[in-house]
Amino acid sequence: MSAPATLLDKLWSAHEIRRAADGTSLLWVDRHLVHEGSHHAFGALRARGLPVAEPGLTFGVVDHYAPTRHRDRIEDASIRVMIDRLEANTAEHGVRLFGLNDPRQGIVHVLGPEQGLTLPGLLITCGDSHTSTHGAFGALAFGIGATQVAHVLATQTVWQAKPRAMRLVFEGKAGPAVGAKDMALHWIARLGTSGATGHAVEYAGPAVRALSMEGRMTLCNLSIEGGARFGMVAPDETTFAYVQGRPYAPKAADWDRALEDWAALTTDAGAHFHAEARFDMAEVAPTVTWGTTPEQALPIDATLPDPARLTGPQAEAVRDAMDYMGLVPGRPLAGTPVDQVFLGSCTNARIEDLRAAAAVLKGRKAKVPGTVSPGSMLIKAQAEQEGLDRIFIEAGLDWVGAGCSMCVGMNGDLVAAGKRCASSTNRNFRGRQGKGARTHLMSPVMVAAAAVTGTLTDARPLLEGRV
Amino acid sequence: MAGWTRHQGQAVALPRANVDTDQLIPARFMSASRAEGYGRFLLHDLREGDPDFPLDRHPQASILVAGENFGCGSSREAAVYALVDAGFRVVVAPSFADIFAGNAVNNGLLTVATDQARAILAVLGDGTLSGTADLAAGTLRIGDFDIALTLPEAVREKLINGWDDIDLTRAHSGEIRNFRDRRKSDHPWAFPST
Ligand code: SF4
């Protein structure tokens, strides 16, 4: 018998074509997803006169620059040109595009799973660091830079050094209003933004098993914020039930063969992990970031740190972040007034996220303006069928189209300088949502709670009797 | 991209940890064409309104010394373009984010992860030190600091020759084709037909 293997080992060896003398592997890519940012890579391909090696395994999506309002007339020429370029590049190379007016259009990491393009056991690359999202299906999925995108386009392969295996185990059961976003912010706050650098994270334990696919995607999505290029969850019945029947999922006899194959995608008992950490769900509260990196996160009932009690570079970093965020050291985090809210992004804009936020918002009014941008147009349609759109609109929030929107602001959906936004996104870096914007990351229920109170606030009392 | 073997230049300090790619190049500049040059976007929003910003005091610098977890955040290779187009050939830090480090190699930018970065930052202060990186000898010298480069051979060759991997990989096209055929017969669902 061979030595016990991790899920990472199994996925890696299934895709390894060869290994170079220095240990770097040449890996086969099953799915390559491209968005507007691929123009440098298509340009490189053109400069060398090369075709796309596997147009049938390459899929284009308009998301980063997708307007969420007035799609029929894009006034900003620099945005128009980014979308036109992707349309032209995919058309030229015979690559299927989920374009701006496609009813299936959405954020690449939402659309892939929704269409069944994302499957257990596949290797998936995309020129976007949150590609780790797809690992929720037990896939080997990772973000790559433009030079690598060009390489995948030209060869359908990628050179990559195998990361070290790391396991994060979540024990126990989630408390009320606690979900995958809180689990992610919790581990990143504990281990730091480079806590998993060089590693592929496998999430395990009863609290991970209990998560829906939506929750697992949120958890894997945020792996990169802790430094891990890969995040993964071994597939199980929850995974198979989600995948079955999706447009690109295997059918009939292929489905049965696939299921047999996928059942083996687990970490063997006794397999070695280079690093492991355990977390107790009893300690995971609704969590909110206060600073300018995702590790600067606290339970909502905590008080802000005080740089006067710290020393050296740590004190400096805290002071710097507090300054940018316009916060007072030592004060309670809850009660901080916000100027607006945003519910969207590949982290938290799936149907379950919208339902969770709607549970808080139903019959209430938002005290501050805000935007709700579903992860895809299919989710938008489903939410409208369920009447969630009415809840958002009656609360006073804008219900708009799908795209990256205010997660990154490339489409012009920006937070103004000095404004504070309660956001369901993934990055609170300086200027991420717009120059001078102040971003607090949190779960969809916590965004909804911030909307109805106009402050950072604990969602738990607002949910009582509602879920 | 042109390769290089030896680089001599001025080192400058950016004494910050977690310099993320949104700092290195804010998203709003990313629709620009590379031909226009990305150097002017480098650390744009941090520099703006700060006449004392280290990079502006020493515009000729080509070696950047920074705090830990340099380049964290998105996969945007434009963060590397901004550094390269601004004249940088070497970045030294206690640690780098994985995707950034990979992108750097592909653009002729040497990243050197070393604990000595902290000590170099302290000596640099607001000034500069002269530095020499020698890929053939595997050494980096900044002021009085000597750092041994521990580069995988493939990375070293790529930097020296300015190679991109496409040619290297295409030399294995037979192997790749065989792998593809095997994958298709064993895992037909990995090749969607819809
Ligand atoms: S929603 Fe944000 S994080 Fe997700 S793909 Fe778009 S820009 Fe990237």
Q: What total number of domains does chain B contain?
A: 1
Residue B99 binned pLDDT confidence (cut-offs 50, 70, 90): very high
Residue B83 contacts A where some CB pair is shorter than 8 Å: no
On the question of pLDDT at B153 being above 70, the answer is: yes
- Given this model, what pLDDT does residue B51 score? 82
Nearest CB to B99; choose among A48, A129, A409: A129
On the question of pLDDT at A467 being above 80, the answer is: no
- Is B177 domain-assigned? no
User: Does residue A338 contact residue A455 with C-beta atoms inside 8 Å?
Assistant: yes
The residue of chain A nearest to residue B170, with distances taken between CA atoms, is A155
The domain in which residue B54 lies consists of 6-162
User: Does residue A449 contact residue A461 with C-beta atoms inside 8 Å?
Assistant: no
Residue A73 binned pLDDT confidence (cut-offs 50, 70, 90): confident
Q: Which residue(s) pair with A168 in the sheet?
A: A203, A277
User: Does residue B164 contact residue A238 with C-beta atoms inside 8 Å?
Assistant: no
Q: How far apart are CA A393 and CA A173, in angstroms?
A: 33
Q: How far apart are CA A93 and CA A51, in angstroms?
A: 7
Residue B49 binned pLDDT confidence (cut-offs 50, 70, 90): confident
At B20-39, the pLDDT tens digits run 999 999 999 998 888 889 99
Domains of chain A: 7-162 (3.30.499.10), 164-236+267-283 (3.40.1060.10), 288-463 (3.30.499.10)
A119 to B189: CB separation less than 8 angstroms, yes or no: yes
Q: Which of residues 168-227 of A touch B (CB under 8 A)?
A: 193-194, 197-198, 227
Q: Which of A19, A26, A74 to mutate to test the interface with B (most CBs of B within 10 A)?
A: A26
- Is B96 domain-assigned? yes
Tell me which of A36, A130, A425 to substitute to probe ligand 1's pocket, judged by most ligand atoms within 8 Å of the beta carbon.
Answer: A130
- Is B171 domain-assigned? no
User: Does residue A404 contact residue A64 with C-beta atoms inside 8 Å?
Assistant: yes
User: Does residue A219 contact residue A208 with C-beta atoms inside 8 Å?
Assistant: yes
- Is B16 domain-assigned? yes
B172 to A26: CB separation less than 8 angstroms, yes or no: yes
Phi, psi of A217 (to 5 degrees): -65, -40
A145 to B106: CB separation less than 8 angstroms, yes or no: yes
Q: Which run of H or E residues covers position A230? A: strand A230-232
> Could you tell me which residue, A313 or A403, shows the higher pLDDT?
A403
Average pLDDT of A76-104?
A: 96
- Is B168 domain-assigned? no
Q: How far apart are CA A61 and CA A46, in angstroms?
A: 20
- Residue A240, exposed/middle/buried by CB under 10 A (0-12, 13-18, 19+)? middle
Closest C-alpha among A374, A453, A434 to residue A110 = A374
Average pLDDT of A114-143?
A: 98
Q: How far apart are CA A110 and CA A302, in angstroms?
A: 33
Which residues in chain B touch residue A119, judged by CB atoms under 8 angstroms apart?
189-190
A248 to B194: CB separation less than 8 angstroms, yes or no: yes
- Is B97 domain-assigned? yes
At A259-283, the pLDDT tens digits run 999 999 999 999 999 999 999 999 9
Judged by DSSP in three states, A98 sits in strand
DSSP assignments along A192-222, one per residue:
-TTTTTTEEEEEESHHHHTS-HHHHHHHHHG
Q: Which of A86, A194, A201, A408 to mutate to test the interface with B (most CBs of B within 10 A)?
A: A194
User: Does residue A10 contact residue A165 with C-beta atoms inside 8 Å?
Assistant: no
Tell me which of A109, A125, A405 to substitute to probe ligand 1's pocket, judged by most ligand atoms within 8 Å of the beta carbon.
Answer: A109
DSSP assignments along A2-38, one per residue:
PPP--HHHHHHHHHEEEE-TTSPEEEE-SEEEE-GGG
User: Does residue A172 contact residue A206 with C-beta atoms inside 8 Å?
Assistant: yes
**E strand spans, B100-170:** 110-113, 128-134, 139-142, 145-148
Residue A237's CB is within 10 A of a number of other CB atoms, namely: 8
Residue A376 binned pLDDT confidence (cut-offs 50, 70, 90): very high
A18 to B97: CB separation less than 8 angstroms, yes or no: no
A154 to B107: CB separation less than 8 angstroms, yes or no: no
- Is B172 domain-assigned? no
Which residues in chain B touch residue A58, judged by CB atoms under 8 angstroms apart?
none
Q: How far apart are CA A362 and CA B33, in angstroms?
A: 46
Q: Which of A20-24, B64-68, B116-120 bottoms out in mean pLDDT, i.e. has the lowest?
A: A20-24
Domain containing residue B111: CATH number: 3.20.19.10
What's the complex ipTM? Answer: 0.94
The structure tokens listed for A446 are: 């916590």
Provide the CA B98 distance to its chain's centre, in angstroms. 11
* Residue A444 Cα distances to A182, A248, A287, angstroms: 10, 29, 11
Q: What is the mean pLDDT of chain A?
A: 96
Q: How far apart are CA B163 and CA B3, in angstroms?
A: 8
Average pLDDT of B44-72?
A: 93
Residue A249 contacts B where some CB pair is shorter than 8 Å: yes
Judged by DSSP in three states, B117 sits in helix
- Is B194 domain-assigned? no
How many residues belong to chain B?
194
- Given this model, what pLDDT does residue A1 score? 57
Q: Which residue(s) pair with A60 in the sheet?
A: A34, A97
B22 to A432: CB separation less than 8 angstroms, yes or no: yes
Rg of chain A over all Cα atoms, to the nearest angstrom: 21
Residue B194 binned pLDDT confidence (cut-offs 50, 70, 90): low
Which residues in chain B touch residue A432, judged by CB atoms under 8 angstroms apart?
22, 27
Q: How far apart are CA B168 and CA B164, in angstroms?
A: 8
Tell how far the Cα of B73 is from the centroid of ligand 1, in angstroms. Answer: 11
Q: Which of residues 340-379 of A touch B (CB under 8 A)?
A: none
Q: How far apart are CA A399 and CA A385, in angstroms?
A: 14
Taking the CA of residue B117 as centre, how many other CA atoms within 13 Å lie in the half-sphere pointing to its CB? Answer: 26
- Residue A312, exposed/middle/buried by CB under 10 A (0-12, 13-18, 19+)? exposed
At A136-190, the pLDDT tens digits run 999 999 999 999 999 999 999 999 999 999 999 999 999 999 999 999 999 999 9
Atom number of ligand 1 nearest to Cα A410: 7
| CA angle in degrees (0–180, nearest 5) for A38-A43-A48 | 130
Nearest CB to A28; choose among B68, B173, B179: B179
Residue A148 contacts B where some CB pair is shorter than 8 Å: yes
Q: How many CB pairs under 8 A join A and B?
A: 169
Find the residues whose C-beta lies inside 6 A of ligand 1: A 63-64, 107-109, 128, 130, 345-346, 404, 407-408, 426
- Given this model, what pLDDT does residue A71 score? 84
Residue A331 binned pLDDT confidence (cut-offs 50, 70, 90): very high
Average pLDDT of B138-156?
A: 94
Q: Over pLDDT 90: what percentage of chain A?
A: 95
Query: pTM for the complete prediction?
Result: 0.96
On the question of pLDDT at B1 being above 80, the answer is: no
Tell how far the Cα of A276 is from the centroid of ligand 1, in angstroms. Answer: 28
Residue B46's CB is within 10 A of a number of other CB atoms, namely: 18
B17 to A317: CB separation less than 8 angstroms, yes or no: yes
User: Does residue A97 contact residue A103 with C-beta atoms inside 8 Å?
Assistant: no
Closest C-alpha among A356, A459, A423 to residue A185 = A423
- Given this model, what pLDDT does residue A307 score? 93
Contacts of residue B163, defined as CB under 8 A and 6 or more positions apart, other chains included, come to B3, B157
Q: How far apart are CA A270 and CA B95, in angstroms?
A: 31
